[in-house]
Amino acid sequence: MAKTLVIAHNYQDPIVHQIVHQNNGIIGGTTAICRAGKEMRDKSNGTAVICSVAFMIEDFVTLSDGRVKALTPIARIKDGKYYVSRCPMIREQGSSLGTLKPKVIENVAKKYPDAPIGVNINNCVAIKAREEVSFVFNATKAIQVLEEIARKKESDVAVLVGNTNVNLYVKKIIESKFPNFEIVSVPNSLQCPPHSQIGAGDIMLTWEDAVQEYGKENVGIVAHAECDPYLIDWILKNGGKISGSGGMFSAIKNSEKPAHIVATVEGLPKRMRNEIPEKTILSPNVLCPNMKFIGGDNGWWVKNAVKIGKNDGEVAGRLIVKNLSYPYYEFEYVGGGRVIEKSDNSLILGPCEIIVDQAFIDNAAESMQTLFQ
């Protein structure tokens, strides 16, 4: 049987996490998926079944230098167009307050020609591969990178491209430490729809109830940087932590407090309840439908992808990242795997291999190294 690694993002459904555990795989955040790609780079004939939105699979492929066969468990074809689980911040589907266009980077590079430009990790690899991009970041890494730039006075301005709430959080931290250093955030109002559903008032009420029950010293709170800026400020003032999903999991696992509020997408809180049962986990119960799509039908599509990966079977199709603008992909129908025709005349098929053009790999891999520094 072929060597197959099964990986799932923290925001996946518990049934997907269960399948990963059964196959001795990896559950983690976006950076953990990137790290797995980097670690598999020198392992020949490897296959990875990756249960996440598409950009994370692209990152895995990029950091493995395209040497690992990466499968997404499920895709959909309707009216001659293909659909794969994609982050709503970069998918042009009208479900985000904005969508990052390549033109945004072109324009900001012209306006600030000498400024380093960082791109949020939650973007297609075709965006990360652009020559204008200096580094790829999550909130934690952005703070580290920008502190170094400001300390060395390599520039007096830097540009962050991506989720507006993440950018504003980083901007507040950096500019409070370095008042003469400016952070420019673009575009305006680019949000994560699920994290935008988390109401500050609901979290505050949950906090008050938890403090009344457990005592203030026994209640922790963590949140994703994509949450509302007002909520993030309130959490920081109350001794909470802002982090990505991997950092949130580690913070609570290592905490001595018995109760925690987790302001992020379900999947992670459910994982915490399953793997850290001694802790009380309170959460706002918001879902990412793009993640949930993968775990549909009781995880059948994931199980199917794992079976085909292990048997080195033929995939249903290939999605090749080779375009600089949306839709980024070109689709090739292969004919293996499984195909189901739905009542709306759409086809559900899987698994599909995601391939990244080598030129994109070469450019994006360099800017993504900041994630590991």
Task: Please give the average per-residue pLDDT across 135-145, as a whole number.
Answer: 95
Domain 102-193 fold? Rossmann fold (3.40.50)
Say what the pLDDT of residue 82 is. Answer: 76
pLDDT 10s digits, 52-97: 999 999 999 999 999 999 999 998 887 777 777 777 665 543 444 4
60, 50 in Cβ contact below 8 A?
yes
Which among 49, 9, 11 is positioned nearest to 32, based on CA atoms? 9
C-beta of residue 363 within 8 angstroms of C-beta of residue 130: yes
Average pLDDT over residues 283-310: 91
Least confident of 24-38, 67-81, 222-236: 67-81
Q: Where are the domains of the chain?
A: 4-88+291-364, 102-193, 198-285
**Distance between CA atoms of 77 and 80, rounded to whole angstroms?**
6
Stronger pLDDT, 118 or 155, i.e. the higher one = 118
CA 209 to chain CA mean position, Å: 31
d(CA 107, CA 122): 20
Is residue 49 predicted with pLDDT exceeding 90?
Answer: yes
Residues 206-226: tens digit of each pLDDT: 999 999 999 999 999 999 999
Beta bridge pairs of residue 24: none
CB atoms within 10 A of CB 202: 14
The per-residue pLDDT for 236 is 96
Least confident of 53-57, 105-109, 241-245, 288-292: 288-292
> Which DSSP category does 369 fall into?
G
Peptide bond into 327 cis (omega under 30): yes
| pLDDT confidence of residue 104 | 86
Question: Cis bond leading into 269, ω under 30°?
Answer: no
- Confidence band, pLDDT 50/70/90 cuts, at residue 319: very high
Q: Which pair of structure tokens corresponds to residue 340?
A: 């189901």
Residue 348, H or E segment:
strand 347-350
Average pLDDT, the chain: 91
User: 198-285, superfamily in CATH?
Assistant: NadA-like (3.40.50.10800)
pLDDT at 69: 95
Q: Are strands 280-282 and 259-263 parallel, antiparallel or unpaired?
A: parallel
pLDDT at 94: 44
Closest CA to 167 of 148, 139, 135, 193: 139
Give the model's pLDDT for residue 91.
52
